[in-house]
Structure 1
Amino acid sequence: MTRQVIMALAGNPNAGKTTLFNQLTGARQHVGNYPGITVDHKEGLLEHQGTRITITDLPGTYSMTAYSAEELVARDYLISNRPEVVINIVDASNLERNLYLTCQFLELGVPLVIALNMVDVARDRGIEIKADKLADLLGVPVVPIIARSGFGKDKLIDEALAVAARKQSWQPRDISYGDDLDAAIAALVPKIEATHFVDGLYPPRYIALKYLENDEQILAKGKDTDPATAAELEAIVNSVCEHTTKTLDVYPEAIIADHRYGFIKSIIRQGVVTHKFDTDRLYTSDRIDQVLTNRLIGPVIMLAILFGVYQFTFSWSELPVALLEDFFGWLSAATETILPDGRLKSLVISGIIGGVGGVLGFVPLIMFMFFAIAILEDSGYLARVAYMMDRVFRIFGLHGSSVMPFIVSGGIAGGCAVPGVMATRTLRSPKERMATLLTVPFMNCGAKMPVLALLIGAFFSDNKAQYMFLFTMLAWIVALLAARLLRSTVLRGAPTPFVMELPPYRFPTMRGLLIHTWERTWQYIKKAGTVILGISILLWAMMTFPQLPAERLAGYEAMRQNIASGYDETIVAEQAQERTVLSAAATDLAGQLQEINKREAEEALRHSLAGRIGIAVETVSHLAGFDWRTNIALIGGFAAKEVIISTLGTAYSMGEVNTDQTESLGERLKKDSNWNRVVAVAALVFIMFYAPCFVTVICIAREASWRWALFSIGFNTVFAFILAVLVFQIGSFFHLG
């Protein structure tokens, strides 16, 4: 029987945890979300010498004190799931900082193996680490590895399996925190043990430490499970807190952090780390940073890199996007010939192929964009972007840490506002966090990118990369101005300091890039096949029913009969004259028949529920140049921005009869009399800035309140419409269309 083992990977951000996870599991992994929270949950499978291993990649975290969603998820997983072994990935080039998390694992008592990663980077910096000595002092196995290349991974798994095979109970390590805190811990532990406090999930000493660290989650659990014991524990903690603040002017959590680092230093100085040469020299990453993060040259390079991302994306994706457009056009034409006339044919061609096909047609573009972003992310450059943007963000009342939520939301390309909103949890200032949370939906997320690509490709095909670059810059400018407005009014307050670690530059591995690209692209494809499909079918139904009255249908049928009658007479006349080619008159009659079908389809769409809504909104939307068909698509975009493409595809294919000439949606819009360049820019501006998608709105409500979520819908939509009206009116005045 195959042995089954459950492992977990844990470590600091940028320590190489995900790289190791990809090396171990490859394509045998899946990504989801932890229940009730938008934090990646990655799980993969590994077969090693007859053992089937399930590996969970925990979110990167610096601490086990639940200050952020990632820290909360990592700790709860360890406590609730109790993996048989935890592999702690430690950056060998930043050993002291990384061992802080290791100390907390030891105090929790988890069965631990340390993966000493990036030993090559440490060696280049003149740092030599004696893994055996470190293992003896910590009492856990330590295995040097290079996650990028896979060096040491087999030995690491062997050690991890050996630890798991012992099946030892969790054995917490005790660290001294000085007389005052040790005395408090000694008073807290017996009370915790006597009542099996917090369901006995955590070691008693660990709960005592969490109370001294003022861990909000543990405090809340304590009050919920045993209010009387919780009150006694808090009284002891308050007493020692009052004592330390009077005598040392520090809180217990600061003392705990100092003693943990003292414990780490005592280990490192016992011959664990040696330096071959002066460590004050400039490392390779520092030399690169002298250029890339230079106050003057850095921003110019950053903009050039951003432009390069778009140039790469559009140039390389142009052919596969065109091939997919041709494929869906062929599929639509083939379906036209196979299915009989009726509602089923309309649903398949207009609702499914025209809707979902329009979204899936941009998969190559999304894939290349995610690949480019993965290069920037895995190389360590995105952290430099946050560092450089801090100076700019301060002008607008934001914080350097706000940059990453903007980037995650699509500040460079792709992304999603939902994890962007969740990422604001790392901001300590409530007002800076709220200003960031409300403005990240202005970024060009992955859902908006296909819409932008559609309109830019249709009306500005000669300069697609340049226009995408300009619209990205516009998104940043508008978001920062909105943040400045919020920070000057409802969210007024002083800025907080910004401290951020810059990880070393690394060459991304092709394996890692492909996995990251596929993960994000697959999420996009799944969304098109589920959410977008459902909404497309719903909107097709709204654009189909109610049907035209019987007398109107009969009128159009009579018109077709008249045309057909004239067409038959022409054929008879030509046959009498022994002509083998249809005359221009006959061809014109056939065109008239097609025109009648088109008029019937348009009137039917106007008569439908969606058409009536679009026409009603047109009384206002005409100020921005939006006709009733466009209104239908924009209303659908409140649910998800990709729906705009699927709805336009459906609206502009309803009743199409000339399937031999399969045109892309962009070509149809370009030929439509209601569209021109000015309307396209107005639509782009409105789509970029109006209400966040429904999922993002719910996320804002969870992170803040429904009041702020509704404010985001109303403020963003009104603001976007005003901008669109200005663009359309000014552009029309100067005849720029």
Structure 2
Amino acid sequence: MMNVALAGNPNTGKTSLFNILTGSYEYVGNWTGVTVEKKIGVLKNKAGHLIDLPGIYSLNPLSRDEGVATHFLLSEEFSLILNIIDASQIERNLYLTLQLLEYGKPMLIGLNMMDVARSRGIVIDDTKLSQLLMGSRIVPIVARTGKGCEVLAADFASVEQRTAQPLDIDYGPVLEEAVQSLTAKIEGKQLPPARWLSLQFFEGNMLVRELLEQHISREELADLFSETEKKITAQTPAKSLQHYIRGVRTDYIHSILDQCVTKVKDVQYTFSDRLDQIVTNKFLGVPIFLLFMFLTFKLTFDWVGSPLSDMLDSFINGTLTDMLQVALLAVHASPFIQAVILKGIVAGVGGVLVFVPQIFILFFLISFIEDSGYMARVAMVMDKLMELIGLNGKAFIPMIIGFGCNVPGVMAARTIEQPNERLLTVILTPLMSCSARLSVYSLFVGTFFRHNQAVIVLSLYVMGIVVALGLAKIFSSTLFKQSGSMFVVELPPYRVPQWRTLGRSTWEKGKGFVRKAGTFIFGGSVVIWFLSYAGPSGFNVPMDKSFLAMIGGLFAPILAPLGFGNWQSGAALLTGFLAKEVVVSTMNIIYAAPDMAALQGIMSHYFSPLTAYSFMVFLLLYVPCLATVAVIKKETGSSKWTWFSIGYALVIAYIIALVVFEGGKLLGFH
């Protein structure tokens, strides 16, 4: 079976092409993030695997995710390279293409976004371009619609059988002499192509340098590099070897484009340019982003989500519960089994599932914003603000991803080059309000803030961002002092998302929530129910005498200054460490309400609007869930920073919830 490596710049349509060629969906790409690990799909014709590499501009990696592509070329077996190029940005995209051609593997090129190129007056002679790129097969495509993709897939077998010659650019006598010298030292060894390795070494690729140091002494490599760079900087205007190599390749690209690209009309301002003047405006950018968030929550809670959740609640706690009760009586199930199923599983899992419509609507809207191209603008708008606190706009991307789930948000910090900046982003991303917290918000705002649900939830999301930014300023000035960093973001053209793509994206984001309800929350609900059913005096004890009440009671005095000093809140927050959705399961089991309306009525006896808001603030900021803690440990490789992320979050959550509660009382709220 063939292995096809899919490579290209960010936002060139790699993800869309991957989905079409494999028939499967992988949640990768920008704002949706950057691919941080290679994703593998089986080609539709079962002829092999398609390996989706990170979106990169060059094989010389600046961040950990970019290093995945170089590491793949250094150590993995593959048959051919599928290079996808944005036809509307062909000059920039060809830089990576040249590096890949120098590697010498058979290459198939998908010339994507031909429709965008035409709208900008760009005409490309793909036949001539193929001749200039070592005869590589080039297929014009529009990956969003699938146009040309079947032709592309049909060419895999023929391209694989070709014997490819590596691209041989003349880099001038000084560098060519150094390349030949280094090539002679490594030829014959079990390594990737020697000339390609040599060029990557002189370009400053640290992964290649580390590989070569296993065969040549570090001192010899350092001397060769420094001597070559001295000669280059003395004889050319280049400031470094990397600068010189980039200049030679850029000139080579220009010579190619002069022969095969013409511009039939000069488009000064595209629709995207005109829209960007508004949405990225330094005064209007942030208010427009907040308006989008407000409308998102309006649709999620008020206009669409709540009615659907109410309907699902009626089914689960009405029709489904009645059917289960009849079935259990028919098979003469014991009272214990009936209690486990109805009061444990249905109450726990069902209490979370009723919020599935709201979760999916939120994910649908976030997917719409991402696929339209607007999310990249949000990162750009936030760059100036992030710069003031010691980060850059790229650090805001993991935070945006964290709105869906903190786990991929933390992992997306791999895209950040500066080590201290990456570590700081990992530690702060869990402050973003994830979808798991949304189920808890839904329960509370539906009970205490029915007429202002969107505003209350928006305030919590904004609070998470503000707290994260404030702590970033403090930490970057103390614990995480760092040098400046550069922020480069690709702004894709605005598009109307396709319904099929939106549906897939929404399902990929939301299926984890449903899967947890059917597994983790299922098991947790049974355990929580049993703790509420059993106590020191035996089984079927009053709830206040149960083990769950005893455990929650340990935390009640600590939580009392925050306004919710009862054992029920303590127990719910403790189980919330496992997964934030379990807070809802715990409350459903504790309060033993027959449906959502009854649960909300019971909760009004234990909480007031002020204490409910204080509880949500604490839930927003306190310890990350268990899965997030595990991925923080993996990403930082440090127990110290993992414990720090737990400890500081608890302290901040307690302080801010206390300020909210006491401040609310001073303002006359109750």
So what's the TM-score if we normalise by structure 2? 0.90
* 1:12 partnered with 2:9: yes
Give the counterpart of 1:678 among 587, 610, 613: 610
Greater Cα shift, 357-366 or 532-541? 532-541
Amino acid at match of 2:562: A
* 1:353 partnered with 2:349: no
* Equivalent residues of 1:22, 1:515 under 8 A apart: no
Amino acid at match of 2:620: M
Residue 646 of structure 1 corresponds to which residue in structure 2? 585
SS in 2 for 1:114: strand
Matches within 5 A, 1:552-701: 600-605=541-546, 608=547, 610-626=548-564, 627-653=566-592, 661-663=594-596, 666-667=599-600, 669-671=602-604, 673-701=605-633
Residue 583 of structure 1 corresponds to which residue in structure 2? none
Residue 376 of structure 2 corresponds to which residue in structure 1? 383
Gap runs ≥5 in structure 2: none
Give the counterpart of 2:170 among 172, 176, 183: 176
| 1:504 CA displacement | 1.5
* Alpha carbons of structure 1 residues 251 and 347: separation in structure 2 relative to 1, 3 Å: farther
SS in 2 for 1:274: strand
SS in 2 for 1:310: helix
Q: Distance in 1 between matches of 2:255 and 2:18?
A: 31
Higher-RCO chain (CA-CA 8 Å, sequence separation at least 6)? 2
Deviation digits for residues 94-147 of structure 1, max 9, x if unmatched? 001111121122122232111111111111111111110100110201111112
* 1:452 partnered with 2:384: no
Give the counterpart of 1:214 among 204, 208, 212: 204
Amino acid at match of 2:435: G
Matches within 5 A, 1:215-294: 215-223=205-213, 226=214, 229=217, 232-244=220-232, 250-270=239-259, 272-279=260-267, 281-294=268-281
Q: Distance in 1 between matches of 2:359 and 2:96?
A: 36
Matches within 5 A, 1:33-112: 39=36, 42-47=39-44, 52=47, 54-77=49-72, 81-112=76-107
| 1:267 CA displacement | 1.0
Deviation digits for residues 458-482 of structure 1, max 9, x if unmatched? 2111221122222222222221111
* 1:711 partnered with 2:644: yes
Q: Distance in 2 between matches of 1:47 and 1:159?
A: 13
Q: Distance in 2 between matches of 1:604 and 1:495?
A: 57
Residue 506 of structure 2 corresponds to which residue in structure 1? 517
* Alpha carbons of structure 1 residues 289 and 733: separation in structure 2 relative to 1, 3 Å: closer
Matches within 5 A, 1:173-572: 173-196=167-190, 200=191, 202-223=192-213, 226=214, 229=217, 232-244=220-232, 250-270=239-259, 272-279=260-267, 281-314=268-301, 315-330=303-318, 331-339=320-328, 340-410=333-403, 415-493=404-482, 495-545=484-534, 547-549=535-537
| 1:444 CA displacement | 1.0
Amino acid at match of 1:713: I
Residue 730 of structure 1 corresponds to which residue in structure 2? 663
Q: Distance in 2 between matches of 1:238 and 1:669?
A: 75
Q: Distance in 2 between matches of 1:46 and 1:493?
A: 44
Residue 148 of structure 1 corresponds to which residue in structure 2? 144
Amino acid at match of 2:647: G
| 1:227 CA displacement | 5.7
SS in 1 for 2:123: strand
Q: Distance in 2 between matches of 1:449 and 1:505?
A: 29
* Equivalent residues of 2:65, 2:415 under 8 A apart: no
* Alpha carbons of structure 1 residues 532 and 189: separation in structure 2 relative to 1, 3 Å: farther
Gap runs ≥5 in structure 1: 554-596
SS in 2 for 1:461: coil
Same amino acid, percent of matched pairs: 37
Deviation digits for residues 673-710 of structure 1, max 9, x if unmatched? 22121121011101111122222223333333322221
| 1:611 CA displacement | 2.7
* Equivalent residues of 1:689, 1:720 under 8 A apart: yes
* Equivalent residues of 1:59, 1:74 under 8 A apart: yes
Greater Cα shift, 258-267 or 495-504? 495-504
Q: Distance in 2 between matches of 1:456 and 1:240?
A: 66
Give the counterpart of 2:132 among 137, 150, 156: 137
SS in 1 for 2:54: coil
* Alpha carbons of structure 1 residues 258 and 523: separation in structure 2 relative to 1, 3 Å: farther
| 1:381 CA displacement | 0.7
| 1:489 CA displacement | 2.4
Amino acid at match of 2:582: V
Q: Distance in 2 between matches of 1:186 and 1:179?
A: 10
Q: Distance in 2 between matches of 1:142 and 1:259?
A: 24
| 1:379 CA displacement | 1.2
* Equivalent residues of 1:112, 1:141 under 8 A apart: yes
Q: Distance in 1 between matches of 2:123 and 2:28?
A: 39
Amino acid at match of 1:425: R
Q: Distance in 2 between matches of 1:735 and 1:336?
A: 46
Greater Cα shift, 209-218 or 314-323? 209-218
Deviation digits for residues 27-77 of structure 1, max 9, x if unmatched? x446699xxx983654444545xx655434333222223333332333444
Amino acid at match of 2:309: V
* Equivalent residues of 2:532, 2:543 under 8 A apart: no
Greater Cα shift, 457-466 or 332-341? 332-341
Q: Distance in 1 between matches of 2:532 and 2:175?
A: 69
* Equivalent residues of 2:21, 2:153 under 8 A apart: no
Residue 562 of structure 1 corresponds to which residue in structure 2? none
Q: Distance in 2 between matches of 1:65 and 1:108?
A: 13
Q: Distance in 1 between matches of 2:619 and 2:283?
A: 33
* Equivalent residues of 1:424, 1:437 under 8 A apart: yes
Q: Distance in 1 between matches of 2:104 and 2:529?
A: 57
Greater Cα shift, 95-104 or 535-544? 535-544
So what's the TM-score if we normalise by structure 1? 0.83
Amino acid at match of 2:513: Y
* Equivalent residues of 1:682, 1:724 under 8 A apart: yes
Q: Distance in 2 between matches of 1:394 and 1:345?
A: 58
| 1:548 CA displacement | 3.9
* Alpha carbons of structure 1 residues 517 and 460: separation in structure 2 relative to 1, 3 Å: same
| 1:222 CA displacement | 4.5
SS in 2 for 1:143: strand
